[in-house]
Amino acid sequence: MIKEKQIVLGITGGIAAYKVVELVRQFRKRNAEVDVIMTRNAQQFVTPLTFQTISGHPVYTDLFHSFNPEISHISLADKADVLIIAPATANIIAKIASGCADDLLSTVVLATKAPLLIAPAMNANMWENRIVQQNVGKLKELGFRIMDPTTGELACGYEGKGRLAEIEDILGETITILTEKDLQGERILITAGPTHEHIDPIRILTNRSSGKMGYALAKASHQRGAEVMLVSGPTNLKPIPDIHTIQVENTLEMSKAVSKHYKSCSIVIKAAAVADYRPKKSFKDKMKKTHKTLTLGLDKNPDILYQLGKDKGKKILVGFAAETKNLISQAKLKLDRKNLDLIVVNNALQKRGGFGSDSNEATLIDFEGKIDALPLMGKEELADKILDKIKQIKKEKSSAKELKKTSASEPKKRT
């Protein structure tokens, strides 16, 4: 979604400058163009050569002695689709708040019409300082996007709020800024992860789902302007900023959370790998190995998606299926039985993607039986492909409805 976008990244003098190398790498991985501006102090921490190598472009350091006369502060300001300052020191924040333009970066800030994203990092006392807070407040009021620092151990030895926001979150926020809001107005309910069915306080019945696909779908839906509700089973993934997430343990809890929010949604994507059975009995204390053999009695869990399919209305319902054989026929059976619009099927035995991995090789089958076999790709990219397909299905369904309406209202020819 940020392919070929023009990012201008301003780096100011803080130790967190080294972390931003990874941010540039992530932008380049997604085929965005990155121009880096470094202040004089930033160059004390990381050399321009590092950013030149990683961005593939010379780094801009000086307002007047540009190595390329074609590139002035004005052309940098004009070409930017977004201007990011990370890490942003108290000094650059003060300069922006007072409209000061005394070097290349602060001049580009004043000259650009592109959205500005600021990720501050500094000593905790500096961050708490009332003057800094006043400047930050002023910038927020003016509509600039500030990603507050996080709390933790700081390079200066302090413990507190001052760490640069996570690179993953700055990346996510940049993608959100640059992405067309083509899903605005949609309310999307997404389930992710496995469920844990308790046997005793130590043991569970579960599966190998990591939740990465569901989280990627939630992130992409949010970036494309949808209102997202994420119902997540237990995962090791970080919560996604700005997404309403309900954490659940087991299938019964997931079913309850989904039912509660189902009515208000226009699209439901059930990426969760739900346990079909739960132990008949969940023991309060640890089970001891007193028996030679043990048979665990299981009760069937409700099929959440099947229930949703019975009361679908105008919603778009999307299911997932991980199979080990007869992928297409098995997925088609599920699509029909659960009254789905789309099913995403993948081979659970695939070597290069799938469970736990960052990539997946999936096939999309829609309600008309159309099959799209997609190549192996990152889960982020796959999430966008699934959302594109959902949009297309919505469009097709609504034009089919319009057509039906018009033909119903046309006067019938007399015979």
Q: Would you name the residues annotated as active-site residues?
A: 156
Residues pairing with 7 in the sheet = 34, 82
The piece of 87-95, 217-225, 315-323, 354-362 that touches ligand CTP (CB under 6 A) is: 315-323
Name the one residue in this structure whose structure tokens are 């700055």.
170
Q: In whole angstroms, what is the distance from residue 415 CA to residue 194 CA?
A: 61
Q: In whole angstroms, what is the distance from residue 172 CA to residue 38 CA?
A: 22
Residues 276-295 that bind ligand CTP (CB under 6 A): 276
x/- letters, 222..251, toward ligand CTP (CB under 6 A): -----------------------------x
Output the smallest distance, CB 351 to ligand CTP, in A. 20
Does 46 help bind ligand CTP (rule: CB under 6 A)?
no
Does 253 help bind ligand CTP (rule: CB under 6 A)?
no
Choice between 89 and 301, CB closer to ligand CTP: 301
Closest CA to 243 of 263, 222, 220, 259: 222
x/- letters, 259..278, toward ligand CTP (CB under 6 A): -----------x-x-x-x--
Tokens at 96, concatenated: 């922006």
Output the smallest distance, CB 302 to ligand CTP, in A. 6
Does 305 help bind ligand CTP (rule: CB under 6 A)?
yes
Using CB under 6 A, pick the residue from 14, 214, 309, 319 that binds ligand CTP. Answer: 319
User: In angstroms, what CA-CA distances link 199 with 180, 193, 288?
Assistant: 46, 19, 12
Output the smallest distance, CB 188 to ligand CTP, in A. 14
Q: In whole angstroms, what is the distance from residue 25 CA to residue 55 CA?
A: 7
Output the smallest distance, CB 366 to ligand CTP, in A. 15
374: left (phi over 0), alpha (psi -120 to 50) or beta: beta
CA 26 to chain centre: 14
- 299 φ, ψ (degrees, to nearest 5): -105, 150
The piece of 208-216, 224-232, 288-296, 317-325 that touches ligand CTP (CB under 6 A) is: 317-325
Choice between 123 and 251, CB closer to ligand CTP: 251
- Number of Cβ atoms within 10 Å of the Cβ of 142: 10
Residues pairing with 246 in the sheet = 231
158: left (phi over 0), alpha (psi -120 to 50) or beta: beta
Choice between 38 and 258, CB closer to ligand CTP: 258
Give SS3 for 298. strand
Output the smallest distance, CB 299 to ligand CTP, in A. 12
In the complex, which residues of this chain contact ligand CTP (CB under 6 A)? 251, 270, 272, 274, 276, 301, 303-305, 319-322, 334
